[in-house]
Amino acid sequence: MALAVAALAVFAAGLGILAPTAAYAAEGCKVDYKIASQWGGGFTGDVKITNLGDAVNGWNLVWTFPNGQRVTQVWNATTTSSGDTVTAKNMGYNAAIPTNGSVSFGFNGSWSGTNGVPTSFSLNGKVCTGTVGEPSTPPTTTPPPTGGISAMETVAAMQPGWNLGNSLDAVGADETAWGNPRITEALIQNVAAQGYNSIRIPVTWDNHQSKSAPYAVEDAYLDRVEEVVGWALEADLYVLINIHHDSWIWMADMNTNRTVVEARYEAIWTALADRFRDAPPELLFESVNEPQFNNVDDTTAYALLDDLNTSFHEIVRASGGGNATRVLVLPTLHTNAEQGRLDALSATIEALDDPNIAATIHYYGFWPFSVNIAGFTKFNDEVRADLEGYFDRAHDEFVANGIPVLVGEYGLLGFDTHTGTVEQGEKLKFFEYAGYYARQKGITLQIWDNGQHFDRTAFQWRDPELFAMMKAAWTTRSGTAATDQIFVPRTATVADVSVTLNLNGTTFQGLRLGSTNLVQGTDYTVSGSTLTIKASRLTAILGDRSYGVRGNLHAVFSQGAPWRISVISYDQPTMSAATGASATFAIPTQFKGDQLATMEAKYADGTNAGPQNWTSYKEFGRAFNPDYAAGTITLPTAFWSEVNDGQKVTLTFHFWSGRTVTYYVTESGGNVTGSLS
């Protein structure tokens, strides 16, 4: 994508009022229109409206495209079009624009030939001029409504959200202890520029709190947390701070060390409540991350968590100021949505009888799929049902009863090992559906990012395709397909290949190769949800048919992100005999363009071998690791530590082309022999 193609600042006058009870507005505003990224036939636009007059409640922005461009997808607004003229209207959560305040929305669009920027905007019926003019109507004699927005509205306005993971929550000397760079204001601003409305800032306090009474928190550390929070608030982000890894470092021993745990916990929240007493309501507090307690049953754990959540509530509310009504976020035990956990938190919230409470859970998907174990390599019906059940339970327990739900972390657990643990297309289907279904249930999502997604110095996405799918899911659905890979044997005759499309409520618009729109009937055909790519087009893409991805097609739908389909030339993968120490053993592998999906491990008698022997299919990234550049598949210590010494193990490697390779390994006294028989 070409970045920062163009930027235009146009000034608007005349902020009219849509709602009859809205505050009177002096005339004046500024509109910043940017083409944030552009590719063949498509682009992303970002629009920022800054109110230079009195506060308004309700807005619409009108402009005319100069070169026939069209909006295909929008977030944080709704749009209608009449020819080249576009009208963007506010969502419920961003209708109000205070004096000198701003709202932003974005869209994906299509273009052909030239992608010029609009030269004029009108806001609420008035042409933009860039100065604060005289009022066009007298001010209302009725004062504007007072009071903040509700907890439900607050959490809705936080969608979508991003986690500043493995920084202030890192366990060590400072925020760089886990490998991330020091947080900068530029990072926070760039996160906001991606379209996020909230940021969760996890904070671990253990190394910055005295271990003896009165358990004082370091002022310098509070200063640093306050600095980062301030940057986020200045970037117009909702902010959530918490007590993070302390939950397992020292709080987990609460049942046997209750006096100390309660005193330390209360000292932290007393310090935070005092420090942020007068912070704006866009700052939220979360009592504790993923609460857990050692060596107790659930009933005892529920009581311990209730004690902490109640204490948290009392400390913050009693501190007054903005804390008297600040939205407080309470987790379930382990921050998961098992029904018993939800019921226990419901009882706590009911007893507190406070309208400014939100519930939080985390979701990392159906576990076998999330880490790629037990053969769950695809986003299938079982994986989808798990997601639906999780969000349904949270909705029915809380949202349906007026209590907002914040999924403070979501993603895939396999990312802890490698972002490639789950195959790209299957990963994209998970994130597409998670975003869609959360919207259906009125649940706000905050993506967990510990540095593996958004580069914190280059300010770019490490996987732009994943971000495009997540971003589309903020407002709409995207079409996908049964696969994102077409494997063509290198020496075989090329034939037509059919791929089943998952339309997800969209309509198929066309197939693109780079910036070239392919010709239906010549290059491909479509029948219902079946896309068939012609052999002639595949042959042209394959070229000299050297191994690997030879080209990427993109299926374009009426809305959402396009779906990539890689055309891959491959042959049967092969492996070679090898010997070595178990700590460094790797199987020499010629992948020949293919990609590894999973691995099975069994003893000669057919019983399962290796770790987690309830399944023959081992965990990707932990029990085996492919290295395509090096031409190896490593079997790490985690695999050998649970293999019987001296027993031969049959390994079956399953590849995405459908091919398999059988290999045999025997470990004896720390040395491994690998063979083909």
Residues with catalytic roles: 290, 409
DSSP 107-131: EEEE-BSB-PPPS-EEETTEE--SS
Contacts of 155 (CB under 8 A, 6+ apart): 327, 358, 404, 405, 406, 444
- What is the amino acid identity at position 74? V
Q: How far apart, in Å, are the Cα atoms of 587 and each of 314, 490, 509?
A: 59, 24, 45
- Give the Cα separation of 460 and 68 in Å (integer): 30
For residues 326 and 278, what is the distance between their CA atoms, to the nearest angstrom? Answer: 10
Residue 529 in contact with residue 504, Cβ under 8 Å?
Answer: no
Residues 664, 651: contact at Cβ < 8 Å? yes
Q: How far is CA 113 from the centre of its chain?
A: 34
- Cα–Cα distance, 287 to 331 (Å, whole number): 7
The residues, ordered by sequence, that sit 6+ positions from 253 with a Cβ below 8 Å of its Cβ are: 261, 293, 294
Give the type of residue at 573.
P
132-139: long-range contacts (C-beta < 8 A, 24 or more apart)? 132/13, 132/26, 132/27, 132/28, 132/52, 132/53, 133/13, 133/14, 133/26, 133/27, 133/28, 134/26, 134/27, 135/24, 135/25, 135/26, 135/27, 136/14, 136/16, 136/27, 137/24, 138/24, 139/24, 139/54
Which residue, chain included where needed, has tokens 């992948």? Answer: 591
Q: Tokens 């639906």 map to which residue?
A: 388
How many helices (H) and strands (E) in the chain? 13, 38
Q: CB 237: neighbour CB atoms within 10 A?
A: 24
With CA atoms as reference, report the closest residue to 271 among 361, 367, 372, 203.
203
Distance CA 306, CA 287 (A): 11
The count of residues in the chain is: 677
Element (H, E) at 71: strand 70-75
Buried b vs exposed e over 88-103: b needs ≥16 C-beta within 10 Å? bbbbebbbbbeeeeeb
Contact indicator for 655, 633 with CB cutoff of 8 Å: no
What does the angle CA 556 – CA 557 – CA 558 come to, to the nearest 5 degrees?
135
Determine the Cα–Cα distance for residues 655 and 624; give it in Å rounded to an integer.
Answer: 14
- Which of these, 103, 101, 26, 111, lies nearest to 68 by C-alpha position? 111
The string of DSSP codes covering 508-546 is EEEEEETTEEPPBTTTEEEETTEEEE-HHHHHHHHTT--
